[in-house]
Amino acid sequence: MNKTHYFLLLKRISLVVLIYTLCRVVFCLINWGNYAGVTFFELGTAFLRGFLFDLAAVLLINAVVMVLSTLPFPFVSRHPYQARLSIFYQCLNIPFLILNIINAGYFRLSGKQITPTQGPEIEVTAPAQVWALASEYWYVSLLALMVSLFLVWYHPTHFRLKSGRTISPAWAGLSAFLLVAVSVLFFALMVRTNPLPPGQQRATRATHLENLARNAAFNLLSRLYDRSVARLDRKKVAESE
């Protein structure tokens, strides 16, 4: 493998981060009534914070793609492998992109984000809310489809990967490990420093900006992370007793 593998991976990750930013723009426009009075500086700060949330979610979601893109084997440079990896990359990211778009309509409908923090409440009210979201905010489904097609149309395709100076298998394996380790540690740091807010919050300018900064994918992953950590803590306590 050579440096072009990393350039291709960087283009793939950058494209998803860009689309996450577009999802935030959609969230802001659909819920513009909550942000009509905020200043440009506050919006800019929310988008900058949102970039960190986006990056943390995208890196964790695409950790497997990073490994598969930097494997120290010759077949990684072959077109059939890259074509399958491209399909896997799209199938992995599209559900989270759709979740972010639908979250914008759900927030306008209910005043809450789609996260597991609501627990059973989602299960009780979901059928009526889904029908209202589909009938009154049909354009949200259209936007979700457009975002998915954007990733399919503009995702970086396979190009010449055999040119240039090759990287030793040892360094390639080490880089794959470091990419995944940094992604997991960065996500864990973001979760620790930005815990999930409570399910019920008083609507203020600060909470509206916080909802703009966070994306549904990060909230979902952070909730799963918190549950995993809590499960491990309970297991340790049980073993110590």
Q: Specify the pTM.
A: 0.86
Q: Which has more pLDDT, 211 or 235?
A: 211
| Banded pLDDT at 240 (limits 50, 70, 90) | confident
pLDDT of residue 134: 66
pLDDT at residue 60 tops 90? yes
pLDDT of residue 172: 77
- State percent of the chain over pLDDT 90: 40
Q: Within 13 Å and on the Cβ side, how many CA atoms surround 233? A: 6
| Banded pLDDT at 63 (limits 50, 70, 90) | very high
Q: Give the length of the chain.
A: 241
Cα–Cα distance, 35 to 160 (Å, whole number): 46
Interval 131-167: pLDDT, tens: 666 666 778 888 888 999 999 988 887 555 555 556 6
pLDDT of residue 16: 97
pLDDT at residue 19 tops 90? yes
pLDDT of residue 64: 95
Q: Which has more pLDDT, 126 or 182?
A: 182
Interval 208-232: pLDDT, tens: 899 899 999 999 998 888 888 888 8
pLDDT of residue 218: 93
pLDDT of residue 121: 40
pLDDT of residue 231: 85
Q: What is the mean pLDDT of the chain?
A: 83
Q: Which has more pLDDT, 173 or 35?
A: 35
pLDDT of residue 126: 55
Question: Residues 178-203: what's their mean pLDDT?
Answer: 83
Q: What is the 3-state secondary structure (H, E, C) of the chain?
A: CEHHHHHHHHHHHHHHHHHHHHHHHHHHHHCHHHCCCCCHHHHHHHHHHHHHHHHHHHHHHCHHHHHHHCCCCHHHHCHHHHHHHHHHHHHHHHHHHHHHHHHHHHHHHHCCCCCHHHCHHHHHHHHHHHHHHHHHCHHHHHHHHHHHHHHHHHCCCCCCCCCCCECCHHHHHHHHHHHHHHHHHHHHHHHHHCCCCCCCCCCCHHHHHHHHHCCHHHHHHHHHHHHHHHHHHHHHHHHHC
pLDDT of residue 5: 81
Minimum mean pLDDT range among 51-55, 79-83, 84-88, 135-139: 135-139
